Amino acid sequence: MTSTVEVRLADGRAYPVIVGAGARTSLAGVLPAGTRRVALVSQDGITFPVDPGCEHRGFAIGAGEEAKTLATVEALCRGFAAWGLTRRDCVVAVGGGVVTDTAGFAAACYHRGVPVVHVATTLLGMVDAAIGGKTGVNLPEGKNLVGAFWQPAAVICDLDALISLPERERRSGYGEMAKYAFLGAPTLTDLELEGAVAACVRLKGDVVAGDERESVGHGAPNQRALLNYGHTLAHALEVDGAFGLRHGEAVAIGLVFAARLAERLGRIGPDRVAEHRRVVASYGLATDLPAGHDLARLLGLMARDKKAVDGLTFILDGPHGCEVVAGVDPDVVGEVLAGG
């Protein structure tokens, strides 16, 4: 049994997100009409079988964040061209966030845009990475600094893919689910997995519908930027690479740090900080920075964050909920970082 959440965009476009055990059997039915061939993009080691119901060929990318590069996008596009992929065809990304981010960007670039469908095989991909049309790759200078907004034609979240998911990868997904708890999602821990995933998808879809292209700095309400709650420090920790953190693990630490920073700026009180710690810890995730972090390096990396259009910029909790806060004093950020 599956459930479908419609992601509706401001100009009338919409696409389905199908959630549930066995959802992958819906793949052929959600391909764009007239699709002749499908480029299946995945990683070595991902053995989740899908059948697009038409001619298809597999294209493998490397494992881990190291694969999210412009070189990988070039290799994919050259592979598509050699096979003769056209705009009447479709890219299907099968995997976690690395695959959907990279394959989605390649689809956005190739022939200036071919359709893409995401088949998420990780909890993190299901509740976040595969939803909303953000695609991109990393540079040595920062995470996701090159990319495009390219909405998928559909997203499939087959819960059967999570049966063999390593526990650490599952916890990484919980890091993003913890974020949604502070953005207005229901009490996710009270829901069955299908309901929890669907609730996260529904919340993200609503936010994306109101601000599809994350219009921070352009006079828009910046609603989509709120989905980056906890991510300013998280991305810095990931780029630093010294601690080997999964994305959701870094987000969990970033959520608690953001709460502590908000408290330091007088936006929230200690009870709200304690609530952040409680929610994050309830998912079995660490709440504090790893020992031995390089404070100066983390500050430098956070200054390169995509939201940093006017000095250090964070999503911070406050009396009216989470908001984009620009121009945060680096000395104050450093003091909070130094506190652990």
- Residue 73: which CATH number? 3.40.50.1970
* In-domain check, residue 16: yes
What sign results for the dihedral spanned by CA atoms 52, 56, 59, 60?
positive
Domain hosting 21: range is 2-165
On whether the pTM is more than 0.75, the answer is: yes
* In-domain check, residue 187: no
DSSP states along 222-242: -TGGGGGTTHHHHHHHHHH-T
Same domain, 52 and 156: yes
Same domain, 247 and 127: no
* In-domain check, residue 184: no
Q: What is the pLDDT of residue 105?
A: 98
Backbone angles phi, psi at 227, to 5 degrees: -65, -10
* In-domain check, residue 193: no
Left (φ > 0), alpha (ψ -120 to 50) or beta: where does 236 sit?
alpha
**Looking at the annotation, which residues are catalytic?**
112, 134, 176, 204, 214, 224, 228, 231, 235, 247
For all residues of the chain together, what is the average pLDDT?
91
Same domain, 53 and 108: yes
- Name the pLDDT band for 240 (thresholds 50, 70, 90): confident
User: Mind listing the pLDDT tens digit for each residue in 43-66?
Assistant: 988 999 999 999 999 999 999 889
The tokens describing 202, both together, are 């529904």
Left (φ > 0), alpha (ψ -120 to 50) or beta: where does 136 sit?
left
User: Mind listing the pLDDT tens digit for each residue in 157-192?
Assistant: 999 999 989 999 999 999 999 999 899 876 777 788
* In-domain check, residue 170: no
Same domain, 85 and 221: no
Which of 139, 165, 191 finishes a domain?
165
